[in-house]
Amino acid sequence: MDEFVKTVRPVILIVLMFAMMFVLGCEQANSLNTEYGTLFGPRGSDSLNGTKYFSELFEAQGATVNRSSVIDPNLDQYDTLVWFPDNNSPPSDKAVRRLSDWLGSGYRRTLIYVAGGNRTTEDYLRAAIEKVPMDQKEEYLRRISEEMISDEKTDAGGRQIWFPSDSTECEWYEVTERRIGTQKVVSGKLLPSGKTYPDMELDFAYEVQPRKKWEPEVLLQAGDEALVYKLGNRATRDNQSELILVSQGSILLNYSLVDEDKQALAAALVRRCETRRGVLFLESGSDGIEVRESVVSNHSNWSWIAQPPLCYIVPHVLFLGVLFCFAYFPIFGRPKRVKPRNTSTFRNHINATAELLSRSNQPNRAVNTIRDYQRAVASDANRNKTD
């Protein structure tokens, strides 16, 4: 019987999978989840451009993975930081100084910083357009065109047009120009000796130039184009810490890691990191990331309520407390449970009549009623004697 169950269960799962595909049809291009650089949550774990699969490579090494949307003193609890900024501009000077201090103040710390916002949406659309029905191909072509021009505004010379408020350089590196082209041969020190990937296609959007004072060392390259750098200064060398600058972050996103070769590149990067005290993924939007000098942003006496996990627990406790008050302390009081009385006891009727007469505030009426009762009883007694 057990063997039968083991055989039938996979068949049932396969049938259900194809039934769902038949009912739901192919996924529409405009409904794709393409949120960039997110780890957890309904919009991050299944996104083409999410980092969930990359985090699972750390978990496979026994590491504990967490996320944060701010840079604060909690960073000191971790050995490795991973940051996929959703912005083509370099990070702010404040963020760079804080992370550089973090690298220099601990032992064997690693910061993986993915420069630029390279995405895998276009790669997915080009691969999927061959498999979608004809009535959906136009929508996929439109989405491919949008991906090509959405964040790639360039001048006639092919250089990136930055907004006036955007910076193209920081203490770690500078972004010099837009680059178009595909490199296929991937090699470098990050891989085992003599190992290369000659058939890997990578599209480069920006040229990232590390600062010479950080003594850049190329760990991975595609053709003549550097793909992964190791940066370090005197403080990080003394502590055996390092900043890993990735100029082509799309190789680490969810969709790319479906490919076994790119999985191997990502795994080689993970093995280089110390993970005993955990890994923290930083998540930031297009406006950058907030840098705090304290763990709490509000220093009032009640600021602890806004910190996890209390920020999730307190609202539920308050809601249950309101329900408790409505249930046990109603406006007109709780109804009393009165023990039912025996209606066949004549004494109870007399007591009830006396109570009603006492409430009338008419003593004469009460006295007359009693006298009438006494006369009636006396006349009944005399009649019974005569009979």
Please indicate, yes or no, whether residues 243 and 100 belong to a single structural domain of this protein: yes
- CA 94 to CA 80: how far, in whole Å? 19
Are 214 and 169 within 8 A, CB to CB? no
259: number of Cβ within 10 Å = 14
- b/e map of 79-88 (b: 16 or more CB within 10 Å)? bbbbbbbbbb
| CA nearest neighbour of 261 among 189, 188, 183, 199 | 199
Please indicate, yes or no, whether residues 356 and 257 belong to a single structural domain of this protein: no
On whether residue 250 sits in a domain, the answer given is yes
Please indicate, yes or no, whether residues 307 and 286 belong to a single structural domain of this protein: no
Cite the beta strand spans of the chain per DSSP E. Answer: 65-68, 70-71, 80-83, 110-114, 173-178, 182-183, 186-187, 202-203, 206-210, 217-222, 225-231, 242-246, 279-282, 290-291
> Is the pTM of the predicted complex or chain greater than 0.75?
no
Number of residues that this document lists for the chain? 387
Q: What is the pLDDT of residue 294?
A: 74
On whether residue 85 sits in a domain, the answer given is yes
Ranking 93-107, 258-272, 280-294, 316-330 by mean pLDDT, the lowest is: 280-294
User: What single-letter DSSP state applies at residue 197?
Assistant: B
Would you place residue 179 in the very low, low, confident or very high pLDDT band (cuts 50, 70, 90)? low
On whether residue 382 sits in a domain, the answer given is no
DSSP of 63-87, one letter per residue?
A: --EEEESEESGGGGG-SEEEE--S-
pLDDT digits (tens, 9 = 90+) for 92-119: 889 999 999 999 888 899 999 988 656 6
| Pairing relationship of beta strands 217-222 and 225-231 according to DSSP bridges | antiparallel
On whether residue 6 sits in a domain, the answer given is no
Say whether pLDDT at 163 is over 50.
no
Please indicate, yes or no, whether residues 285 and 316 belong to a single structural domain of this protein: no
On whether residue 7 sits in a domain, the answer given is no
pLDDT digits (tens, 9 = 90+) for 262-273: 888 899 999 999
Q: What is the pLDDT of residue 99?
A: 93
Highest averaged pLDDT of the listed ranges 15-19, 78-82, 183-187 = 78-82
Please indicate, yes or no, whether residues 272 and 356 belong to a single structural domain of this protein: no
Please indicate, yes or no, whether residues 223 and 86 belong to a single structural domain of this protein: yes
Please indicate, yes or no, whether residues 149 and 265 belong to a single structural domain of this protein: yes
What is the sign, positive or negative, of the torsion defined by CA atoms of 295, 301, 306, 308?
Answer: positive
Please indicate, yes or no, whether residues 210 and 89 belong to a single structural domain of this protein: yes
- CA 225 to CA 205: how far, in whole Å? 11
Q: In the 3-class helix/strand/coil scheme, how is 105-159 assigned residue by residue? A: CCCCCEEEEECCCCCCHHHHHHHHCCCCCHHHHHHHHHHHHHHHHCCCCECCCCC
Would you place residue 186 in the very low, low, confident or very high pLDDT band (cuts 50, 70, 90)? confident
144: number of Cβ within 10 Å = 17
On whether residue 101 sits in a domain, the answer given is yes
| CA nearest neighbour of 121 among 143, 139, 142 | 143
Report the pLDDT averaged over residues 301-311: 72
Surface-to-core class of residue 115, CB atoms within 10 Å of its CB (0-12 exposed, 13-18 middle, 19+ buried): buried
Please indicate, yes or no, whether residues 275 and 321 belong to a single structural domain of this protein: no
Say whether pLDDT at 3 is over 60.
no
pLDDT digits (tens, 9 = 90+) for 212-242: 889 999 999 888 888 899 999 888 888 899 9
Please indicate, yes or no, whether residues 191 and 325 belong to a single structural domain of this protein: no
Percent of the chain exceeding pLDDT 70 equals: 69
Tokens of 236: 């990080």
What is the sign, positive or negative, of the torsion defined by CA atoms of 136, 138, 141, 147?
Answer: negative
Task: Count how many domains the chain has.
Answer: 3
Q: Residue for token digits 């190789």?
A: 251
Q: What is the pLDDT of residue 167?
A: 61
| CA nearest neighbour of 281 among 63, 15, 133, 67 | 67
CATH number of the domain that 250 lies in?
3.40.50
Query: Which residues sit opposite 49 in a β-bridge?
Result: none
Distances (CA, A) of 364 to 32, 193, 194, 255, 373: 91, 119, 121, 98, 14
Say whether pLDDT at 128 is over 70.
no
On whether residue 21 sits in a domain, the answer given is no
Highest averaged pLDDT of the listed ranges 85-94, 195-204, 315-324 = 315-324
Contacts of 248 (CB under 8 A, 6+ apart): 116, 118, 202, 204, 222, 227
Please indicate, yes or no, whether residues 175 and 257 belong to a single structural domain of this protein: yes
29: number of Cβ within 10 Å = 22
DSSP of 265-294, one letter per residue?
A: HHHHHHHTS--TT-EEEE--BTTB-EE-SS
Surface-to-core class of residue 183, CB atoms within 10 Å of its CB (0-12 exposed, 13-18 middle, 19+ buried): middle
Please indicate, yes or no, whether residues 238 and 355 belong to a single structural domain of this protein: no
Report the pLDDT averaged over residues 287-307: 70
On whether residue 341 sits in a domain, the answer given is no
Q: Containing domain of residue 158, as a range? A: 27-291
278-282-286 Cα angle (round to 5): 175
